């Protein structure tokens, strides 16, 4: 795994590509930083996002480098704080452990297509298509909306612009940062899934998915939605050794920089999620099965238990160390139900509810509301993964909300279920830490 990292501080800036390795996508070990800015190079002000591919037995990275523009017309990034020139750069691994990299001196894509007044020009995703390499690049046009630019190459070094792979509509609001109003699409990803193709884009604080048809190097959207309604951004996928499509996302902070500086760290990666399409071509997801190895002590109830036994088992449950996996199947009688994680003295840690409205069902996690498919009285399947300040919530495998919770309960957590609802199944596992140095307390993740 390569990820954005500032080795000098726990706030954003001085972007490098950090490096970590894992045998199972769950247990990770930090490696030396892979790519750092080169003084006076095209990436002197930051090594931004990109992709790694295998080319003739060697791993090559194509990434966005940022540097001061030679003049105002050459700037591609203006976010109200920075004015930069973005170019696409190439580095090739010199060893099989991917620790040593050799950069090309000049960018492989030095400027946007002529005639486009872009609002950004970054985050390439690269794939093989027949005898050619293809590259999709996050961008946008002022006054028009986000856009993904499509390129082709035979050697990863010489790229030809083709046309937009996908275009958005005009932004709905004004603002100095085009990402915030939808005039810029960051961190695109593009991949086949089932008999369709999927586009992921990050904009306006969310990761959006679009499912559709890809033919003659053009994409047509047929269905779309939100990958995760909470603290989740810059998503990227890979194939695992069995050919499953695995999704990774960055879980950003929701606290001031002064708290990040005090903590000494910022940002975490989500648990890896397996992706597939429903019969209706909706994007489905769940945490990969390898995460089950983190399960520790278990408590649960099922249909065979008497009502009083279920109630006693639920009241006896305690979640300790802010580390647990919880799975419930709820059958609402009137459509509305709630789930609360509380300290033993009754203080809420996390509040989850399912409410029916005229527009459809809604799932709310600590004040963040998401659309939820299904009828008012249809079953609700919930999976929760709690790790310190991170709570990843999945409902019916179609809706996800990731919450950040910066408070440490004084006691272990209890679980309260509210509403006219039958608990058809409930399982809770304490989770074992992934590493020995897992952070703990109110600022943990």
Same fold, 2-287 and 291-431: no
| Backbone dihedral angles phi then psi of residue 313, each to the nearest 5 degrees | -65, -40
A 10 A CB-CB count for 340 gives 17
| Backbone dihedral angles phi then psi of residue 341, each to the nearest 5 degrees | -95, 120
Please give the structure tokens belonging to residue 105. Answer: 């001196």
| Backbone dihedral angles phi then psi of residue 213, each to the nearest 5 degrees | -110, 135
Closest CA to 321 of 159, 410, 440, 180: 440
Match domain 2-287 to its CATH number in 2.102.10.10, 3.30.2130.30, 1.10.530.10, 2.115.10.20: 2.115.10.20
pTM for this entry: 0.94
Three-state secondary structure string covering 93-118: ECCCCCCCEEECCCCCECCCCCCCCE
| Backbone dihedral angles phi then psi of residue 433, each to the nearest 5 degrees | -65, 145
Match domain 291-431 to its CATH number in 2.60.120.560, 1.10.1450.10, 3.20.20.450, 3.75.10.10: 2.60.120.560
Report domain extents, the chain.
Answer: 2-287, 291-431
Alpha carbon of 230 to those of 120, 129, 227: distances in Å? Answer: 24, 34, 9
| Tens digit of pLDDT at every position of the chain (445 positions) | 999 999 999 999 999 999 999 999 999 999 999 999 999 999 999 999 999 999 999 999 999 999 999 999 999 999 999 999 999 999 999 999 999 999 999 999 999 999 999 999 999 999 999 999 999 999 999 889 999 999 999 999 999 999 999 999 876 667 789 999 999 999 999 999 999 999 999 999 999 999 999 999 999 999 999 999 999 999 999 999 999 999 999 999 999 999 999 999 999 999 999 999 999 999 999 999 999 999 999 999 877 888 788 888 888 999 999 999 999 999 888 768 999 999 998 899 999 999 988 888 999 999 999 999 888 778 899 999 999 999 999 999 999 999 999 988 999 999 999 888 888 899 999 999 887 765 543 333 3
């Amino acid at each position: 795994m390569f990820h954005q990292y500032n080795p000098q501080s726990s706030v954003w800036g001085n972007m490098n590509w950090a490096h970590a390795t894992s045998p199972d996508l769950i247990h990770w070990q930090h490696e030396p930083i892979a790519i750092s800015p080169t003084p006076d190079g095209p990436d002197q002000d930051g090594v931004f996002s990109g992709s790694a591919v295998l080319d003739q037995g060697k791993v090559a990275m194509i990434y966005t480098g940022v540097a001061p523009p030679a003049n105002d017309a050459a700037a591609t990034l203006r976010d109200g704080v920075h004015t930069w020139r973005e170019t696409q750069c190439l580095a090739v691994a010199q060893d099989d452990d991917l620790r040593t990299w050799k950069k090309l001196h000049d960018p492989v894509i030095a400027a946007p297509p002529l005639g486009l007044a872009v609002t950004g020009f970054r985050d390439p995703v690269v794939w093989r298509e027949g005898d050619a390499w293809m590259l999709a690049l996050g961008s946008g046009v002022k006054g028009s909306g986000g856009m993904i630019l499509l390129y082709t190459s035979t050697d990863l070094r010489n790229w030809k612009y083709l046309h937009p792979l996908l275009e958005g509509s005009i932004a709905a609001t004004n603002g100095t940062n085009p990402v915030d109003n939808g005039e810029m699409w960051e961190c695109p990803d593009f991949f086949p899934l089932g008999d369709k193709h999927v586009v992921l884009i990050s904009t306006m604080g969310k990761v959006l998915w679009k499912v559709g048809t890809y033919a003659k190097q053009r994409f047509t959207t047929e269905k779309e939605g939100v990958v995760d309604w909470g603290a989740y951004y810059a998503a990227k996928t890979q194939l695992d050794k069995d050919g499953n499509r695995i999704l990774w996302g960055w879980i950003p902070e929701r606290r001031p920089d002064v708290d990040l500086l005090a903590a000494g760290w910022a940002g975490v990666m989500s648990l890896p999620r397996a992706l597939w399409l429903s019969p209706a071509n909706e994007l489905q997801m769940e945490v990969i099965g390898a995460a089950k190895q983190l399960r520790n002590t278990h408590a649960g109830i099922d249909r065979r238990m008497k009502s009083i036994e279920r109630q006693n088992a639920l009241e006896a449950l305690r979640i300790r160390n802010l580390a647990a996996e919880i799975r419930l199947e709820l059958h609402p009688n009137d459509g509305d139900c709630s789930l609360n994680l509380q300290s033993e003295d009754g203080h809420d840690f996390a509040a989850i509810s399912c409410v029916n409205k005229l527009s459809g069902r809604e799932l709310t996690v600590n004040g963040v509301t998401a659309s939820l498919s299904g009828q008012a009285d249809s079953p609700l399947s919930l999976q929760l993964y709690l790790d310190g300040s991170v709570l990843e919530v999945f409902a019916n495998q179609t809706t996800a909300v990731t919450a950040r919770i910066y408070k440490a309960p004084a006691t272990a957590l209890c679980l309260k279920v509210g509403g006219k609802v039958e608990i058809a199944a409930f399982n809770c596992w304490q989770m074992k830490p992934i590493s020995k140095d897992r952070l703990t307390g109110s600022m943990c993740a």
